[in-house]
């Protein structure tokens, strides 16, 4: 997507603090972190929102959760972490490229939101 902020980050057009990258995903630090560890995990394939997941693209979402598990193990997040994904403006989605917030490093209250 030519106007997508995250597509531009993936392509290197916009700089980011990259944490991890493979053939399907890109992980970088959130520019406005709400926890000591606040990473965005995104697919390289442009999918706008959670409600656009289909049988044709769902494998990349499964891969994202495998990447999150790998990151959590590498960061030794034994005390826990949270994964958040917002769908739509009323849920707080501001960039319309599906993304997953990996949050850790402090107690995370519930209920969220």
| Residue 4, beta-bridge partner list | none
Q: Is 63 a catalytic residue?
A: no
Of 38, 46, 97, 99, the catalytic one is 99
Query: SS3 for 85-97, per residue?
Result: CCCCHHHCCCCCC
CB 43 within 8 A of CB 24: yes
CA 56 → CA 11, 49, 69, distances in Å? 23, 15, 23
| Residue 76, beta-bridge partner list | none
Collapse the DSSP code of 25 into the 3-class scheme (helix H, G, I; strand E, B; otherwise coil) and give the result: strand
Q: Which residues are catalytic?
A: 99
């Amino acid at each position: 997507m030519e106007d997508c902020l995250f597509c531009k980050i993936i392509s290197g057009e916009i700089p980011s603090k990259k944490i991890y990258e493979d053939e399907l995903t890109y992980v970088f630090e959130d520019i406005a972190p709400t926890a000591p560890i606040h990473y965005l995990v995104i697919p390289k394939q442009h999918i706008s929102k959670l409600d656009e997941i289909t049988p044709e693209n769902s494998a990349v979402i499964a891969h994202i959760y495998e990447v999150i598990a790998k990151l959590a193990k590498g960061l030794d997040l034994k005390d826990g972490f949270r994964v958040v994904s917002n769908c739509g403006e009323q849920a707080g989605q501001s960039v319309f490229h599906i993304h997953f917030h990996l949050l850790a490093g402090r107690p995370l209250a519930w209920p969220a939101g």
